[in-house]
Amino acid sequence: MERSGSEPALPGFRFHPTEEELLDFYLKRVALGKKLNFDIIGTLNLYRHDPWELPGLAKIGEREWYFFVPRDRKSGNGGRPNRTTERGFWKATGSDRPIRSTAEPRRLIGLKKTLVFYEGRAPRGTKTDWVMNEYRLPDAPASNTAVPPKEDIVLCKIYRKATSLKELEQRAAMEEGLRESQACMFMVDNASSDDQENYQSASVALDNGDLKVIKEETQKEVELTSASVRQIVNLPDLQVPKYSLDWMQDPLSTHLRSPWLDQWFPYANLPYF
């Protein structure tokens, strides 16, 4: 993302102001409507953007980015500012810390609030390493005759918190575990692919060469079965004795025959063979 402004053409220039300089010089001048000689800090409603978008919107900065932010309250005077973005919200980590003048320790020049960005929606969310320091001028008492500020504005410094060695080790361990699990899944997928390829190869081999072997073995079994059947069929015929009706042709029996016997033996007079 391109920057919204150009950096000052000053070789070696680095913008690292102290908290007292941010409050007593930059924020106080802008709040009173005074114009700065250098356009270094831009004005932006940063709650319309996620924190990782802000470095590209700042006019200057390498590890710290500064913005003048108009105060946006949910409901009238005294309401809580709306610090919700599209993907998360800024949450305060504690109470405001007073900032006093180095030359005059009794003089209060401003207040500092530290906030951390959480992804998600309140009250739940995932904590990130994006931090914001919000500087604002102290509330002027009613009896104060000083010139009141013309704008209700704050100055915000955005940066990423340095990651500790322990947290880096935990992240490395989590990444290593993730890589190992992915490697195991990859091995299982490859094993499944190899089994499928072997099955396909076996099928192709069966279609090409092994099918011929099966056909030959089947043909041999058929031939053996046919030979066995032939052996069973070629058994010698059984010698069944033939019964003769010669006794029916005997003359003596013919005389002894009666019409009553002819009714029961109608085929007695037929010739035999």
pLDDT digits (tens, 9 = 90+) for 74-121: 544 556 678 899 999 999 998 999 999 999 999 999 999 999 999 999
Which residue did the predictor score with more confidence, 233 or 34?
Answer: 34
Flag the least confident range among 139-143, 163-167, 235-239: 235-239
Kindly give the residue spans of alpha helices, DSSP state H, lying in 28-164.
Answer: 28-31
Q: Are strands 64-70 and 153-160 parallel, antiparallel or unpaired?
A: antiparallel
Rounded to whole angstroms, the Cα distance separating 93 from 80 reads 15
Q: Which residue has the higher pLDDT, 92 or 193?
A: 92
pLDDT tops 90 at residue 237? no
Say whether domain 19-140+147-167 belongs to CATH 2.170.150.80. yes
Q: How far is CA 261 from the centre of its chain?
A: 106
Q: What is the CA radius of gyration of the chain?
A: 54
- Please give the average per-residue pLDDT across 166-176, as a whole number: 75
Peptide bond into 11 cis (omega under 30): no
> Domain ranges in the chain?
19-140+147-167
* Averaged confidence pLDDT in the chain: 75
Least confident of 21-25, 218-222, 239-243: 239-243
Helix (H, G, I), strand (E, B) or coil at 200: helix
pLDDT value for 93? 92
